[in-house]
Amino acid sequence: MAILQIPGNLLIIIAAVFTALFICYSSIPVIIRIAEMKHLLDEPDQKRKLHKNIIPTLGGIAIFASFLISYSVWGNAVEVYSYPAFVGGVLTLFLIGIKDDILMLSPVKKLIAQVFAAFVVVIGGNLSITNMDGILGIHEIPGFVGMLLAVFVIVATINAYNLIDGIDGLAGGIGIICTSTFGIWFWGAGFTSLAILSFVLAGALAGFLIYNFSPAKIFMGDTGSMVVGFILGYLALNFIQLNQPSSAALWKISTAPAFVLAVLIIPAFDSVRVFTIRILTKQSPFEPDNNHIHHRMLQMGFNHKGAAIVLYLMNILIILVALGMKDYDPNLIIATVICMAMLMIPSIRIFFKAISTIYPLKRLAGKTQRFF
């Protein structure tokens, strides 16, 4: 009888994931106690901050520390040329994030830090985009344009990810889905070090999610959202670069930019949608409001847990559809992904009404019992 053999690199990935998960899970109670002692807490305002209790906001420290420690132990960083530049960029945002969570920084200062960190990793790590794979008929692009586009991808991902961090468990769960998707491809394509980096972040987020899933005991804050958003942007650029037409990678996806959009569709679509609404209503695009997808779902009757789970499933569905279409024209893939995203809220509303008909919502103490 043959004995099931697990590849050595897969064992390392598993060990790295559980190391990050354990460190994050173990450190958060300490961070919560310190935050409560120093009054580093987020107070609800019943507008955008919809939690009921005062919650610590320094969960990003645990995410970053567990990520960095686990990857330092298990990841072979010398195989990743861009890693030194990556560390410089992510450390910059970690420090800026802590300062913002404690003292509050202006959006302009945070944006400057994000652009700086993006340029560090793009220039220092040589991570520019050189080919659009036929999107809008564009193939090869000049080096300078590719560098600016790469910087835009990172900065946009950071801010898009930050914007979905509005209800319990949403950002953490979406982060796990995105990093796991990239990690599976990196592992299958033979890029073990990048696979470990991806799965280490997924493990750290899983440890955090134990405390952040509704009802949340801690938030990741800007420290966490900027660090995770930066890493997602970094992984996306590596994924695109390793799938360039000249690449001989295993599991090659010739429509990599379109597939990246599918992976990051929840934060990307929500950001574009919200900014468009703000501009059309003559508001500042950077003025916070409650028009995000997750806010709409709460208004429909979902609670935090239900809204987060439904958005997880939508993200996975869109990724699977894009993967099934990977050999199609990239413009068709993008159009399909965007159409699915645009139909997200209407389809959720129809689904919710159908479920409400089958299982009528009860009124308890004058308040509607929320779905899930």
**25-36 confidence digits (pLDDT tens):** 999 999 999 998
Mean pLDDT for the stretch of residues 127-148: 92
Best CA proximity match to 266, nearest among 193, 358, 169, 196 = 169
Residue 362: predicted pLDDT: 44
Say how far apart CA 162 and CA 264 lie, in whole Å. Answer: 13
Q: Are 28 and 59 in contact (CB under 8 A)?
A: yes
User: pLDDT-derived band of residue 5, with 50, 70 and 90 as boundaries?
Assistant: low
Say how far apart CA 136 and CA 144 lie, in whole Å. Answer: 19
Say how far apart CA 154 and CA 177 lie, in whole Å. Answer: 18
User: pLDDT-derived band of residue 254, with 50, 70 and 90 as boundaries?
Assistant: confident
Residue 52: predicted pLDDT: 62
Residue 82: predicted pLDDT: 95
Q: What pLDDT, in 10s, does the model give residues 56-99? A: 999 999 999 999 999 999 998 889 999 999 999 999 999 999 99
- Residue 44: pLDDT over 70: no
Mean pLDDT for the stretch of residues 187-211: 96
Say how far apart CA 311 and CA 304 lie, in whole Å. Answer: 11
Kind of pairing, strands 131-135 and 138-140?
A: antiparallel
- Residue 1: pLDDT over 70: no
Q: What percentage of the chain exceeds 70 in pLDDT? A: 90
Residue 220: predicted pLDDT: 96
Instruction: Specify burial of residue 72 (Cβ count, 10 A radius: 0-12, 13-18, 19+).
Output: exposed
Residue 50: predicted pLDDT: 57
H or E element, residue 346: helix 344-358
Q: Are 14 and 203 in contact (CB under 8 A)?
A: no
Q: What percentage of the chain exceeds 90 in pLDDT? A: 71
- Residue 319: pLDDT over 90: yes
Residue 363: predicted pLDDT: 37
Best CA proximity match to 67, nearest among 195, 192, 177, 200 = 200
- Residue 325: pLDDT over 90: yes
Which of the residue ranges 43-47, 107-111, 309-313 would you say has the lowest mean pLDDT?
43-47
Terminal Cα distance for the chain, rounded:
46
Report residue 62 as tokens: 């645990």
The domains of the chain are located at 8-368
- Residue 360: pLDDT over 70: no
H or E element, residue 115: helix 107-124
Residue 259: predicted pLDDT: 97
Average model confidence (pLDDT) for the chain? 89
Best CA proximity match to 80, nearest among 234, 249, 245, 205 = 234
Q: Are 220 and 63 in contact (CB under 8 A)?
A: yes
Beta bridge partners of 96: none
Residue 196 is which amino acid?
I
Residue 369: predicted pLDDT: 47
Say how far apart CA 58 and CA 41 lie, in whole Å. Answer: 9
